[in-house]
Chains A and B, each alone.
Chain A
Amino acid sequence: MSEVRVDVRVENDIIIARQAGRNVAQKIGFGTADQTRLATAISELTRNVVQYAQQGICVIRDDSDAQMLRIRVEVEDNGPGIPDVDRAMKDGYSTGRSLGMGLPGTRRIVQDFAIKSRPGNTKVAIAIARPRAAVQPPAGARPVARPAPAVRPWNTGR
């Protein structure tokens, strides 16, 4: 079970963390859509750290098993905490310069989402998961042939 840890302090660490997430997702076989969902989720969560807590850590872990491809990500900081988590999970609520779509948006693109926050410690845990069968077609499966487009005669209309 591999694990990648990224220290999150400055804006550039947001990029490093999300690229690390994408790399893990790609390596273990997630498709482009899930790679992008994961990278975007990490981008949102680590931005919150840079913006509100100045410093934190992002841990990306391959937690796959025989049935499921699964990546768990934990983003933790020792910042002031989110005063009202329920409100922070609603669309359009923000105390910063964002649209207030970060947390609620992230929850919609991941399979697991858990958040714990008190002054001095905020931890968000997410997971992106997909049945192996849905991602990796069984060996010997043939690609679905697409019908060729109908040939339209060239310039025959009157």
Chain B
Amino acid sequence: MNVPLLRLRDILLTSIQVDLTDQEALNFQAELLHRVNETEAKGVVIDITAMDVVDSFMARVLNETATMVRILGAEAVVCGMQPAVALTLIEMGRQLVGVETTLNLDQALDRIQQLIARRDGVYADGETDRFGGHGRSKVTSDRSSVREGGDE
């Protein structure tokens, strides 16, 4: 695995530091999803500061990864896109960017906390909360209620 995934409290933090081949990008996506599931992370931050090319394939991988993370029940933020990369992506086609982004890592951590809080808030009012869940899907919430039962 050439992209390290760090766990920081309930967030998975990852920084893509090398040029990934298409296969490596897909491996990264699979590994990240696996780790979200395994660690029950509430959010994922993907730092792309070091990426000097995001082509249509990589853009698609990033967008889809974020969507997949969300349907698992966590939040995702991409941060640090270089200005020239943003310029190129938008010139190529607006539909290429469909993911929550922030300028830098600091803002990404703030944003992901907001998103997590919002998700928790939404679910706290909804019926899923009877599982004592923190906003993940019902199944996962049910599982976590065994462990954290009654702390809400």
Contact = CB atoms under 8 A, between A and B. Distances in A.
Interface of A: 11-12, 14-15, 18-19, 22, 32-33, 35-37, 39-40, 43-44, 47, 91, 98-99, 101-102, 104-106, 108-109
Contacts of A36: 52-53, 82, 84-85, 87-88
B17 interface: no
B55 to A, nearest CB: 4
A110 to B, nearest CB: 10
Interface of B: 19, 21-23, 52-57, 60, 82-85, 87-88, 91-93, 95-96
Interface of B is mostly: helix
A47 B57 contact: yes
Nearest to B85: A36
A32 B96 CA distance: 20
A149 to B, nearest CB: 18
Given A11-B23, A36-B88, A44 B52 contact: no
A109 to B, nearest CB: 5
20 contacts: A12-B21, A14-B21, A22-B53, A32-B82, A33-B87, A35-B84, A36-B82, A37-B84, A37-B91, A43-B55, A47-B22, A47-B55, A99-B95, A99-B96, A101-B56, A101-B95, A102-B56, A105-B91, A105-B93, A109-B88
